[in-house]
Homo-oligomer: A and B are copies of this chain.
């Protein structure tokens, strides 16, 4: 009886604290986010102290511990680690030298693609053939491809307005190029980095081998060196490349998702997840991809606690492990939720960089989509205007089968692929106000969705 009374009083207090005008709450959320440097400092730590936090690395372990502490400091009611099995791919020596009797010799800026097999320590030496798509590869056929390194040089389509469309139009060279080239007897592939920038940064990213093919090494080359290689090939089709990339895949290891939650006062058994991914490629600080998404998720907890916003549902900030290679973090999180019969109401992913916020995409239809889009009016004072139908993200997608509304956080897209998966994705490329505006926008949406039962 005593406990019931106390609970009842707590509920009343909580209701009072959240029975404010939502416009005023949003105003407080933006002021708090813009006036506080915690998220920016957390980002700085992840970038500078856990750089290269690829699955299975010591840096990833350090990032797990740091974000666990950061969630505690943010005031999460409960913080814990969830075991996740992850691939353990390690880079080796890398070198790519092109030699041409016409043009001379040049070291190309390369980086192995994630999950690629390696060359031997001595590497491979081959002639090289430039192609732009899989149809061209097919029409050249075994006789022209066999024994050569295939150079995929289809550029990112800069004329696309949304840079994700430009990326989407070129990325299959990276993900499937080795498998396709292997069918015709290629010895390896060199893929033009999937970026709109013309610079010296090679951009890595995951690749996969089809079941049936002979696995051949795959590397990305910087766009400037791709331009050079293409130019040299025009005057010397017989130039040769010596490629060393002795990366390898070791047995899977255990890692962790990092989870912190604020217990809901009314429906604690319903969950709203807000997350980013903690792993990053080994060659990068992973500031935009995706330390920013992680610190913004932590910031949702911090802002709620700091302002005394009591959610009806339990709000969980999740740092997912292994988004980059095989998304076992997201799948493990959903599998455990299913095992425990958890009710997952909604999930939001921030994994499109830390640019100025434009809005959200919702995987909803009909009346629910209408209601979600109508939330835009609350964001008018903050210039947030994109409330569109669309997807969530790869880490939260396994929650869809549990009924969770999928929400994607959408920052401005123009700069993202200039940094993505490269050594150029640094803390210095993030602007503090763009990070803070994003945090406020995410926390505000979570608050409104919970408040209005959307």
The 8 A CB mask of A349-363 against B (1 = contact, 0 = none) is 000000110100000
Whether A197 and B415, one on each chain, are in contact in the complex, defined by CB atoms closer than 8 angstroms, is no
A110 CB within 8 Å of chain B: no
Residues from chain B with Cβ under 8 Å of A385 in the complex: 385
- Closest Cβ of chain B to A180, distance in Å, is 27
User: Which A193-238 residues sit within 8 Å CB-CB of chain B?
Assistant: 196-198
Residues from chain B with Cβ under 8 Å of A34 in the complex: 158-161
A30 to B166 Cα, complex, angstroms: 14
The 8 A CB mask of A11-37 against B (1 = contact, 0 = none) is 000000000000000000011001101
The 8 A CB mask of A406-433 against B (1 = contact, 0 = none) is 0000001011001000000000000111
Whether B433 and A414, one on each chain, are in contact in the complex, defined by CB atoms closer than 8 angstroms, is yes
Tell me whether A161 and B381 are in contact in the complex, defined as CB-CB below 8 angstroms, given that A412-B412, A432-B197 are known contacts.
yes
Residues from chain B with Cβ under 8 Å of A35 in the complex: 158-159
Residues from chain B with Cβ under 8 Å of A418 in the complex: 431-433
A434 CB within 8 Å of chain B: yes
A251 CB within 8 Å of chain B: no
Residues from chain B with Cβ under 8 Å of A414 in the complex: 356, 431, 433-434, 437
Contact with A31, one of B159, B197, B383 (Cβ below 8 angstroms): B159
Q: Could you give 29 example pairs across A and B, Cβ below 8 Å?
A: A34-B158, A34-B159, A34-B161, A35-B158, A37-B198, A158-B433, A161-B382, A161-B383, A161-B437, A162-B383, A163-B433, A196-B432, A196-B433, A197-B432, A356-B356, A356-B412, A356-B414, A356-B415, A358-B383, A383-B386, A385-B385, A414-B433, A414-B434, A415-B431, A415-B433, A415-B434, A418-B431, A418-B432, A418-B433
- Closest Cβ of chain B to A316, distance in Å, is 28
Residues from chain B with Cβ under 8 Å of A436 in the complex: 158
The residue among A30, A163, A358, A433 with the most chain B CB atoms within 10 A of its own CB is A433
A31 to B381 Cα, complex, angstroms: 32
User: Which A133-180 residues sit within 8 Å CB-CB of chain B?
Assistant: 158-163
Residues from chain B with Cβ under 8 Å of A434 in the complex: 414-415
- Closest Cβ of chain B to A175, distance in Å, is 23
The main secondary structure of chain A at its interface with chain B is loop
A412 to B34 Cα, complex, angstroms: 16
- Closest Cβ of chain B to A103, distance in Å, is 23
Residues from chain B with Cβ under 8 Å of A382 in the complex: 161
Ranked 7 nearest A-B pairs via Cβ: A414-B433, A31-B159, A415-B431, A356-B412, A34-B159, A385-B385, A414-B434
A40, closest chain B residue (CB): B198
A31, closest chain B residue (CB): B159
A338 to B431 Cα, complex, angstroms: 43
User: Which A376-392 residues sit within 8 Å CB-CB of chain B?
Assistant: 381-383, 385-386
In addition to A35-B158, A163-B433, A383-B386, 10 A-B residue pairs with Cβ atoms within 8 Å of each other are: A31-B159, A34-B160, A37-B198, A158-B436, A161-B383, A196-B432, A356-B415, A414-B437, A415-B434, A418-B431
- Closest Cβ of chain B to A449, distance in Å, is 21
A412 to B412 Cα, complex, angstroms: 9
- Closest Cβ of chain B to A48, distance in Å, is 15
A431, closest chain B residue (CB): B415
Residues from chain B with Cβ under 8 Å of A163 in the complex: 433
- Closest Cβ of chain B to A303, distance in Å, is 13
A183 to B347 Cα, complex, angstroms: 59
A386 to B382 Cα, complex, angstroms: 12
Residues from chain B with Cβ under 8 Å of A412 in the complex: 356, 412
A20 to B385 Cα, complex, angstroms: 30
Whether B159 and A30, one on each chain, are in contact in the complex, defined by CB atoms closer than 8 angstroms, is yes
A160 to B158 Cα, complex, angstroms: 34
A37 to B159 Cα, complex, angstroms: 12
- Closest Cβ of chain B to A383, distance in Å, is 7
Whether B381 and A30, one on each chain, are in contact in the complex, defined by CB atoms closer than 8 angstroms, is no
Residues from chain B with Cβ under 8 Å of A356 in the complex: 355-356, 412, 414-415
A386 to B386 Cα, complex, angstroms: 12
- Closest Cβ of chain B to A41, distance in Å, is 11
The residue among A163, A382, A386, A432 with the most chain B CB atoms within 10 A of its own CB is A432
A383 to B387 Cα, complex, angstroms: 12
